[in-house]
Amino acid sequence: MSGMKLSTDIAAASIVTIAAILALPNFLELFALINATVYVSMSVLALSLALVWGFGGILCFGQAAFFGLGGYSYAVAALNFGDTTYAVPVAIVVPALVAAALGYVMFYGRISDVYMGAITLTLTLILFNFVNSTAGDQWRIGAAPLGGFNGIPSTPPLNLPGDPGNPLPPQSIFTISVVSLLLCYIIAKLILRTRFGRVIVAIRENEHRAELLGYDARAYKLGIFVIGGAMAGLSGMLFANCVFVSPTMFSLFYSGQIIIWVMVGGLGTLAGPVVGAILLNLLTTWAGTLPDISPSLILGVILLLAVLILPRGVLPSLAVLFGHERGVT
Amino acid sequence: MSGVATLLITSLGLAIIFGMMRVINLAHGEFLMLGAYAAILSARAGINIWIAMLIVAPLIVGVIGFVVERLIIRRLYGRMIDTMLATWGLSLALIGAVTMIFGNTVAGFSAPLGSFAIGSFTASAYALFLIIATIILLGGIWALLRFTAAGLIARGTMQNSEMAAALGVSSDRVYAVTFAAGSSVSGLAGALIAPFSGVVPTMGSAFIAKSFITVVTGGAAMLTGTFSAASLLGTVATLGTFMTTPVFGEVMMLAVAIVLLRLLPQGITGRFFRRAL
Amino acid sequence: MTALLATEHLTIRFGGVVAVDDVTFSVATGELRCLIGPNGAGKSTLFKCLTGQIKPSVGRVLWRGRDITGLDSFKIARLGIGIKTQVPSLFDGLTVLESVRLALRRQARERDARAQAMATLERLGIVELAPRIVALLAHGQRQLVELAMVVAPEPELIILDEPTAGMSAEETSRAARVIRSLNDKHAIIVVEHDMQFIRAIAKTVTVLHQGRVLVEDDVMRVLADRRVQDVYLGKVDASLQVTT
């Protein structure tokens, strides 16, 4: 039963992915294709918080921190190595390490939800302020200037492994992004099916009871938090390939956006936030074309309404509407 | 010193609401911002600057707070995380709305008092004024809680809202007034810090994290908690900034807050001064 | 008979209140011990200390002679102690089967774990509940599900805090039968209020009063003890009168 559902979900996702890879680069202009790639990277970011929050029960207000760290470490590594092959793992490992350190302090310190929100929020803002202040030549890591407010405009795009002279064209980057999204989705699904995943969900349901059964909740939460951080880092790397890295990756606006995508898409599902991220990004882009209307206003109202009216998110509410009671993944 | 005072006064509104209602209002930064804008605009409209800052700003933001409580907060009682999310949405919406109406540029606002010298230190008299204002505000609130009937009701509801309800107190009403009061304190704080912080729609963002951390580290006692946390964290931040850079000061502040929360998971007043206000 | 779980001069203070006062007692392998006392006697506090949720101010808790004072709950559970809380603490969003399967932490093989889980549900007479979502169950059923989760990994000692709270008479008899049969394989400590239930299952009873051990003896003698009847003033019902 659940095995079948897993395969059908993955099959459906794969079909959509293949369709996207074949169709979109042919139909979209370059600019729109790059935008689409950005949306895909946002979806990976949404997926990371969907995992950490929806399934792990950890409300991280600063998922943008790992997004930014991923982007920046990719850029710095790529500029220093001259070859993006090694920059990719860096983009994943650096945020994972930071998540490990932060997670250790928070979970092994038994810090409660509210305080965790405060700490993750503050961390993101500190990173934002720090990177913002790194204008000027003294702020470089190896060959990479951090660039302060302007970011790193010369972020190198991905090249074929081992072939640094040949950066990949935007079409390939789009394909890579979409495939990455699919892979992350599959990995997340598989994780949830392992014992680790089931314990994580149990901990979210009732941490105390899980501990009374002998599970060390601190270690499990740390684990899922690190995985989420790594995934967010990957999304930062993908983002860096379409747009250059800048401090806005660490902004409160981004942190808020990620939360909105997950809430509106459906807290407790994986596909929901992915779809939510794409739809909301389309909405924000469209709103940006309207004169005088602030995207911040629109997103803020959406979040407000989401919390007040549909606390379970759009997708699960639709599912309930159509008669599927249980949690969807 | 003015660093501590700034932290204290900008966190007080959040602390009042958190201490009384266990609600974290993430739009707190925007209430500060609205207070600053209210002060500037009324000053530009010809109202005396002191009245604009000390009366108009808190009044306007208090009303806004009242409306927010009625429309949003009261539907989410007991749901702390949902309240945080909803107020974050409100925060984004307010930033957007103000940007749309007033644009992105910094509104000019120079400190109304000059500078003065004590020995070899020059300081702006305004900074001194801010410190004094903070002390007066703290004292006033304390006196209000301690000596007035309204304060007694508030304290009772804080301790045990069910019991208070059984005694005829409408906790609904208390919460509405509390939220409005906390909002107006935030508005006042925003107006007072406007001269040296620069008035932009996003000015609140700089304060929300620090206030949040201060209130949470202080614990449930709204006055003592915020005072002790602000003193401790503010001093650390000022020292850090003085020794290196402002960013490092913030890092130090966060580090100290994390250590404190590790040792005292309920905040400072979770362990010490537990019965204090 | 070896002492399985023991406390030595256990004292727990909160602020100015002494909730548990110099309690020394021990439970042997295979024993069934009931811990009773009126409200405020310190039973819940003692329970929380034994299960790692509260740390004592003074004294020690020993497991097979080993000092386990102050250990985290999950470590205590891993020693082979099953814990059932007063208010059922369950995984509301999971099914009954999934919940019991999770209780079998050491069992890595999925098929064996499920089989063992089903066998446990069978044992408790609730096998038909296996696919149901826990949140949708009635209170008495939830108690039994939690009991199943506690019992499934075959712990050496089971500690139950008011297991029959909110149960109907029929469910209470079923629980009494289950606990008596569990006693064949596990040592059990039951913290309880319900006198009928105590009479049905108890062998040795420890009575707490104001944090201290008032009396510790065979159930019949305890129930006939004047002092016990006094502290339960108002809570004593006719069923306590022992006919000689």
The CA-atom distances, in angstroms, between A240 and each of A17, A166, A227 are 21, 17, 20
Residues of A in contact with C94 (CB under 8 A): 201-202, 205
Digit-coded pLDDT (tens) for A130-160: 888 877 777 777 777 777 888 887 778 887 7
Q: Are the CB atoms for B74 and B92 separated by under 8 Å?
A: no
Cross-chain Cβ contact A211/C51 below 8 Å:
no
Gap between the Cα atoms of C96 and C88, Å rounded:
13
Q: What's the pLDDT at A13?
A: 83
Q: For residue A304, give the nearest of B81, B93, B216 by CB distance.
A: B93
Confidence of residue A210 (pLDDT cuts 50, 70, 90): very high
User: Would the pLDDT of C236 be above 60?
Assistant: no
User: Would the pLDDT of B36 be above 50?
Assistant: yes
Digit-coded pLDDT (tens) for A175-185: 899 999 999 99
Report, as an integer, the average pLDDT of C90-109.
Answer: 91
Report, as an integer, the average pLDDT of C168-189.
Answer: 86
Cross-chain Cβ contact A252/B96 below 8 Å:
no
Q: For residue A213, give the nearest of C51, C77, C93 by CB distance.
A: C77
Report, as an integer, the average pLDDT of A101-108.
Answer: 92
More confident site: A62 or A315: A62
Residues of B in contact with A256 (CB under 8 A): 88-89, 91-92
Q: What's the pLDDT at C237?
A: 47
Q: What's the pLDDT at B111?
A: 53
With CA atoms as reference, report the closest residue to C176 among C47, C48, C34. Answer: C34
The token duo for A118 is 């405060």
Of the listed ranges A42-56, A73-87, A308-322, C211-225, the least confidently predicted one is A308-322
What's the gap in Å between the CA of A45 and the closest CA on chain B?
Answer: 19
Gap between the Cα atoms of B188 and B51, Å rounded:
11
Q: What's the pLDDT at A326?
A: 43
Please, what is the angle between helix C169-182 and helix C139-151, to 10°? Answer: 10
Q: For residue C89, give the nearest of A198, A201, A208 by CB distance.
A: A208
Query: A221: which residues sit within 8 A by CB, 6+ positions away?
Result: A56, A58, A103, A107, A200, A203
Gap between the Cα atoms of B209 and B17, Å rounded:
16
- Give the mean pLDDT of chain C: 86
Gap between the Cα atoms of B150 and B153, Å rounded:
5
Please tell me if residue C83 touches chain A, with a CB cutoff of 8 Å.
yes
Tell me the CATH class for C3-80+155-239: alpha beta
Residues of B in contact with A295 (CB under 8 A): 96
User: Would the pLDDT of A41 be above 60?
Assistant: yes
User: Would the pLDDT of C52 be above 60?
Assistant: yes
Q: What's the pLDDT at A45?
A: 96
Q: What's the pLDDT at A71?
A: 93
Cross-chain Cβ contact A212/C91 below 8 Å:
no
The token duo for B220 is 């449930």
Q: Are the CB atoms for B212 and B90 separated by under 8 Å?
A: no
Q: Are the CB atoms for B139 and B151 separated by under 8 Å?
A: no
Digit-coded pLDDT (tens) for C2-29: 789 999 999 998 878 888 889 998 999 9
In percent, the amount of chain C with pLDDT more than 90 equals: 39
Of the listed ranges A218-222, A224-228, B51-55, B229-233, the least confidently predicted one is B51-55
Please count the other Cβ atoms lying within 10 Å of the Cβ belonging to residue A311: 17
What's the gap in Å between the CA of A35 and the closest CA on chain C?
Answer: 38
Q: Are the CB atoms for B117 and B131 separated by under 8 Å?
A: no
Torsion of the alpha carbons at C57, C61, C65 and C66, rounded to the nearest 10: -80
Cross-chain Cβ contact A307/B262 below 8 Å:
no
Gap between the Cα atoms of B181 and B160, Å rounded:
20
Please report the sign of the dihedral spanned by the C-alpha atoms of residue C199, residue C203, residue C208, residue C209: positive
Residues of A in contact with B99 (CB under 8 A): 294, 296-297
Q: What's the pLDDT at B108?
A: 60
Gap between the Cα atoms of A122 and A117, Å rounded:
8
Interface test with A, best of B7, B24, B71, B88 (most A CBs within 10 A): B88
Please tell me if residue C118 touches chain A, with a CB cutoff of 8 Å.
no
Residues of A in contact with C90 (CB under 8 A): 206, 209
User: Tokens 């900034």 correspond to what residue?
Assistant: B241
Report, as an integer, the average pLDDT of B213-224.
Answer: 84
Strand partners, C27: C5
Domain residues of chain C, as ranges? 3-80+155-239, 88-154
Characterize B42-79 residue by residue with b for buried, 16 or more Cβ atoms within 10 angstroms of its Cβ, and e for exposed: bbeeeeebeebbbbbbbbbbbebbbebbeebbeebeee
Digit-coded pLDDT (tens) for B107-161: 665 555 544 444 444 556 777 788 888 888 888 888 888 888 878 877 777 777 6
By CB neighbour count within 10 A (0-12 exposed, 13-18 middle, 19+ buried), where does C22 fall? middle
Residues of A in contact with C103 (CB under 8 A): 213
Residues of B in contact with A105 (CB under 8 A): 258, 262
Cross-chain Cβ contact B89/A306 below 8 Å:
yes
Cross-chain Cβ contact C92/A208 below 8 Å:
no
In a domain, B267, yes or no: no
Cross-chain Cβ contact B209/A125 below 8 Å:
yes
Nearest residue on chain A to B103, judged by CA atoms? A292
User: Would the pLDDT of A328 be above 50?
Assistant: no
| Alpha-helical regions (H) of B103-221 | 125-147, 149-159, 161-166, 171-197, 205-218
Gap between the Cα atoms of B213 and A119, Å rounded:
7
Give the predicted TM-score (pTM) of the model: 0.87
Cross-chain Cβ contact A213/C92 below 8 Å:
no
Query: A241: which residues sit within 8 A by CB, 6+ positions away?
Result: A37, A155, A157, A158, A173, A177
User: Would the pLDDT of C238 be above 50?
Assistant: no
What's the gap in Å between the CA of B129 and the closest CA on chain A?
Answer: 28
Q: Are the CB atoms for B230 and B214 separated by under 8 Å?
A: yes
Please tell me if residue A195 touches chain C, with a CB cutoff of 8 Å.
yes
Residues of A in contact with B100 (CB under 8 A): 292-294, 297
Q: What's the pLDDT at C103?
A: 94
Report, as an integer, the average pLDDT of B7-22.
Answer: 88
Cross-chain Cβ contact C98/A198 below 8 Å:
yes
Query: Using CB atoms and an 8 Å cut-off, which of residues 214-253 of chain A contact chain C?
Result: 214-217
User: Would the pLDDT of B258 be above 50?
Assistant: yes
Of the listed ranges A199-203, B72-76, C61-65, the least confidently predicted one is B72-76
Cross-chain Cβ contact A211/C92 below 8 Å:
no
In a domain, B253, yes or no: no
Gap between the Cα atoms of C8 and C214, Å rounded:
16
Q: What's the pLDDT at C60?
A: 92
Domain residues of chain A, as ranges? 2-249
Q: Are the CB atoms for A119 and B254 separated by under 8 Å?
A: yes
Characterize A60-72 residue by residue with b for buried, 16 or more Cβ atoms within 10 angstroms of its Cβ, and e for exposed: bbbbbbbbbbbbb
Q: What's the pLDDT at A319?
A: 62
Please tell me if residue A306 touches chain B, with a CB cutoff of 8 Å.
yes
User: Would the pLDDT of A126 be above 90?
Assistant: no
Report, as an integer, the average pLDDT of C238-243.
Answer: 44
With CA atoms as reference, report the closest residue to B201 among B72, B37, B90, B85. Answer: B37
User: Tokens 């979900």 correspond to what residue?
Assistant: A9
Report, as an integer, the average pLDDT of B81-90.
Answer: 88
Strand partners, B174: none
What is the domain count for chain B?
A: 1
Please tell me if residue A129 touches chain B, with a CB cutoff of 8 Å.
yes
Please tell me if residue B103 touches chain A, with a CB cutoff of 8 Å.
no
Of the listed ranges A69-83, B112-126, B131-145, C147-161, the least confidently predicted one is B112-126
Q: Would strands C187-191 and C32-36 be described as parallel, antiparallel, or unpaired?
A: parallel
Nearest residue on chain A to C91, judged by CA atoms? A205
What's the gap in Å between the CA of A103 and the closest CA on chain B?
Answer: 12
Please tell me if residue B112 touches chain A, with a CB cutoff of 8 Å.
no
Of the listed ranges A45-54, A232-241, C167-176, the least confidently predicted one is C167-176
More confident site: C218 or A48: A48
Partners of chain B (3+ Cβ pairs below 8 A): A
Domain span at residue B170 reads 2-112+123-208
In percent, the amount of chain B with pLDDT more than 90 equals: 18
In a domain, B260, yes or no: no
Report, as an integer, the average pLDDT of A97-110.
Answer: 92
Q: What's the pLDDT at A313?
A: 60
Q: What's the pLDDT at B93?
A: 92
Q: What's the pLDDT at A1?
A: 41
Please tell me if residue A299 touches chain B, with a CB cutoff of 8 Å.
yes
User: Would the pLDDT of A314 be above 70?
Assistant: no
Strand partners, C215: C207
Q: Are the CB atoms for A181 and A17 separated by under 8 Å?
A: yes
String of DSSP letters for C95-154: BHHHHHHHH-TT---HHHHHHHHHHHHHHTT-GGGTTSBGGGS-HHHHHHHHHHHHHTT-
In percent, the amount of chain A with pLDDT more than 90 equals: 38
Cross-chain Cβ contact A198/C93 below 8 Å:
no
User: Would the pLDDT of C243 be above 70?
Assistant: no
Strand partners, C204: C33, C218
Q: What's the pLDDT at A310?
A: 75
What's the gap in Å between the CA of C78 and the closest CA on chain A?
Answer: 5
Measure CA of the first residue to CA of the last residue in chain B; give whole Å: 23
Cross-chain Cβ contact A206/C98 below 8 Å:
no
Please tell me if residue A135 touches chain B, with a CB cutoff of 8 Å.
no
- Give the mean pLDDT of chain A: 86
